[in-house]
């Protein structure tokens, strides 16, 4: 069985992620305990909310160290979704400046509208353009639409960490990847069939 | 490019789905779970669920109900009705809502909006603004499912809630609601121009042309509709084929 730890740090839509993982034949465990992360075959960091609160909650639960050990030493496949992707960055500027998990170098900054009538937050379906092949996107063509709902985005420091781009206020980084660490800005658990396909692919890593 | 969303609205009252005319004359339109299953199969862009009697009955949102059906969604979901506290927002997000719609409390307890936006991010705070046009042509915001006047002008109110941290506005014309006579494109455009957050047009959709008009002239970011999907043969998918022909970017 594929044991999937979904990190519960009081930030958002954990049930939807768990439900989607069940549809993909994974065994989700919603948890805020370090022991559960250590037992899992896969770890997902979901999240809706502000960067500052998110990091504070992870630190208060004492999970920062465990996450880093699991990811960097044991190389467990790790997926950050939405805020969970943003927390992979070095720092974020939502609700003050806060240090992130620093697993992928970069900063999380607010969208700057690049023309009149351009709305922030970025809410809705938009295409995800694959910059390099990755098994997460097996049988998912480039430029397919996924669901986004966010005001901040991940500005990557290194080009090689960029997995996908999406056109909005210029192009922003909609997925990052370094080794076993992946982050997606969109919500696969809310992107219907294609989203489930992506999560199934994650459970095959 | 971001796609224009076509959003069916589900109104919930007395344990069933309903649809009315001008926030009155409610008719039953079927089972909630059935509707959600159908919309999931049809892969709609997003759903808005509003429990329209919660505030009037002084109830909190029915968290158990939301928890049950949200799990079936696997598509974007906005939930509203009876949201009065920051804690309500937190619980609904946890139950599986992606965004939480707030109507009466946005007027009565504006500080709650600021706090919820700070805590959970603006992107999940939708302010639902219901308005009426009076005989002298002025617009006024109503709360408590359209039963309570506020004396507020909707454009001004929209700017205020944006300042408080709202991430989106669901803008409903009470006069047009359920009439299928077309959106109040003029006011929707005025609000869309006044704020830099997305505006969802609601109230009055009766044809695909109405939707096109409110998107092009009204500058809405998304269109919501209920009656045409409950009472006619029109579907969200057909809507999109029509809009695509007219040059609107949609997800098919």
Tens-digit pLDDT profile for chain B (252 aa)?
999 999 999 999 989 999 999 999 999 999 999 999 999 999 999 999 999 999 889 999 999 999 999 988 889 999 999 999 999 999 999 888 999 999 999 999 999 999 999 999 999 999 999 999 988 889 999 999 999 999 999 999 999 999 999 999 999 999 999 999 999 999 999 999 999 999 999 999 999 999 999 999 999 999 999 999 999 999 999 999 999 999 999 999
pTM value is 0.96
Q: Does the distance separating the beta carbons of A16 and B221 come in below 8 Å?
A: no
pLDDT tens string for chain A (205 positions)? 799 999 999 887 788 899 999 999 999 999 999 999 999 999 999 988 889 999 999 999 999 999 999 999 999 999 999 999 999 999 999 989 999 999 999 999 999 999 888 999 999 999 999 999 999 999 999 999 999 999 999 999 999 999 999 999 999 999 999 999 999 999 999 999 999 999 999 999 9
3-state secondary structure at position B180 = coil
> Domain range spanning residue A130?
2-202
The Cα–Cα gap between A80 and A182 comes to 6
CA-to-CA distance for B168 and B196, rounded, in angstroms?
9
Write out chain B residues lying below 8 Å of A12, CB-based.
Answer: 93-94, 120
Enter the ipTM: 0.95
Nearest-by-Cβ selection for A125 from B45, B74, B95? B45
Of B74, B118, B121, the CB nearest to A190: B74
The answer to whether A16 contacts B70, with C-beta atoms less than 8 Å apart, is yes
Q: Cβ of B17 under 8 Å from any chain A Cβ?
A: no
Q: Which helix (H) or strand (E) holds A200?
A: helix A192-202
B27 contacts: CB under 8 Å, gap ≥ 6: B18, B19, B20
Residues of A within 8 A of B201 (CB-CB) are: none
Distance CA A154, CA A106 (A): 7
Closest residue to A13, CB basis, from B1, B96, B123: B96
d(CA B23, CA B202): 13
Asked whether the bond before A121 is cis by omega within 30 degrees of 0, the reply is yes
Tell me if B192 sits within 8 A of B200, measured CB to CB: no
A145/B251 Cβ within 8 A: yes
Distance CA A31, CA A117 (A): 41
The answer to whether residues B220 and B201 touch, using CB atoms and an 8 Å cutoff, is yes
φ, ψ (nearest 5 deg) of residue B174: -65, -40
Active site annotation includes A153: no
By DSSP bridging, strand A78-81 and strand A91-92 are unpaired
User: Which pLDDT tens digit goes with each residue over B28-63?
Assistant: 999 999 999 999 999 999 999 999 999 889 999 999
**What is the helix (H) or strand (E) element at residue B214, kind and residue range?**
helix B208-216
CA separation for the pair A72, A56 (Å, rounded): 21
- Cβ pair B106, B76 in contact under 8 A: no
The minimum CA-CA distance between A14 and chain B, rounded to whole Å, is: 6
A50 SS3 class:
coil
Q: Compute the nearest-CA separation of A184 from chain B (Å).
A: 16
Structure tokens at A111: 């969208």
Strand partners, B48: B9, B78
CA B137, distance to chain mean position in Å, is 23
Interface of B with A in 159-178 (CB under 8 A): 167-168
CATH number at residue A182: 3.40.50.880
- A73 CA: distance to closest CA in chain B (Å): 31
How many domains does chain A contain in total?
1
Nearest residue of A to residue B71, measured between CA atoms: A16
Q: Is A22 a catalytic residue?
A: no
Structural tokens at position A20: 């989607």
* B217-247: pLDDT as tens digits: 999 999 999 999 999 999 999 999 999 999 9
């Amino acid at each position: 069985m594929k044991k999937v730890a979904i990190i519960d740090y009081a930030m958002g839509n954990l049930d939807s992620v768990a439900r989607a993982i069940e549809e993909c034949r994974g065994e989700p465990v919603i948890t805020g305990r370090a022991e559960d992360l250590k037992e899992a075959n896969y770890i997902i960091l979901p999240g809706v909310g502000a960067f500052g609160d998110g990091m504070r909650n992870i630190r208060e639960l004492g999970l920062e160290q465990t996450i880093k050990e699991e990811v960097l030493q044991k190389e467990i496949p790790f997926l950050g979704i939405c805020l969970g992707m943003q927390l992979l960055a070095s720092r974020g500027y939502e609700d003050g400046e806060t240090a992130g998990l620093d697993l992928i170098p970069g900063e999380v900054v607010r969208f700057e509208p690049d023309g009149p009538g351009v709305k922030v937050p970025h809410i809705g379906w938009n295409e995800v353009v694959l910059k390099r092949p990755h098994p997460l996107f097996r049988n998912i063509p480039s430029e397919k639409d996924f669901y986004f709902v966010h005001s901040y985005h991940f500005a990557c420091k290194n080009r090689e960490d960029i997995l996908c781009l999406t056109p909005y206020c210029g192009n922003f980084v909609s997925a990052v990847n370094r080794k076993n660490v992946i982050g997606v800005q969109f919500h696969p658990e809310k992107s219907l069939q294609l989203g489930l396909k992506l999560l199934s692919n994650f459970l095959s890593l | 490019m971001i796609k224009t969303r076509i959003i069916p609205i589900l109104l919930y009252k007395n344990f069933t789905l309903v649809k009315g005319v001008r926030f009155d004359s409610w008719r039953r339109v079927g089972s909630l779970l059935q509707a959600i299953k159908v919309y999931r199969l049809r892969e709609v862009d997003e759903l808005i669920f509003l429990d329209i009697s919660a505030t009037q009955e002084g109830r909190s949102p029915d968290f158990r109900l939301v928890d049950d059906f949200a799990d079936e969604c696997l598509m974007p979901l906005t939930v509203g009705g009876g949201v009065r506290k920051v804690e309500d927002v937190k619980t609904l997000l946890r139950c599986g809502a992606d965004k939480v719609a707030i109507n009466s409390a946005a007027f009565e307890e504006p500080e709650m909006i600021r706090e919820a936006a700070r805590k959970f991010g603006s992107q999940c705070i939708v302010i639902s603004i219901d308005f009426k046009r009076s005989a002298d042509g002025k617009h006024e915001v109503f709360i408590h499912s359209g039963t309570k006047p506020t004396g507020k002008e909707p454009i001004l109110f929209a700017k205020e809630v944006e300042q408080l941290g709202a991430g989106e506005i669901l803008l409903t014309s009470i006069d047009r609601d359920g009439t299928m006579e077309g959106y109040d494109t003029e006011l929707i455009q005025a609000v869309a121009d006044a704020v830099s957050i997305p505006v969802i047009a609601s109230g009055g959709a009766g044809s695909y042309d109405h939707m096109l008009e409110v998107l092009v002239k009204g500058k809405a970011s998304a269109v919501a509709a209920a009656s045409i999907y409950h009472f006619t043969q029109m579907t969200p998918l057909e809507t999109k084929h029509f809009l695509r022909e007219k040059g609107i970017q949609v997800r098919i």
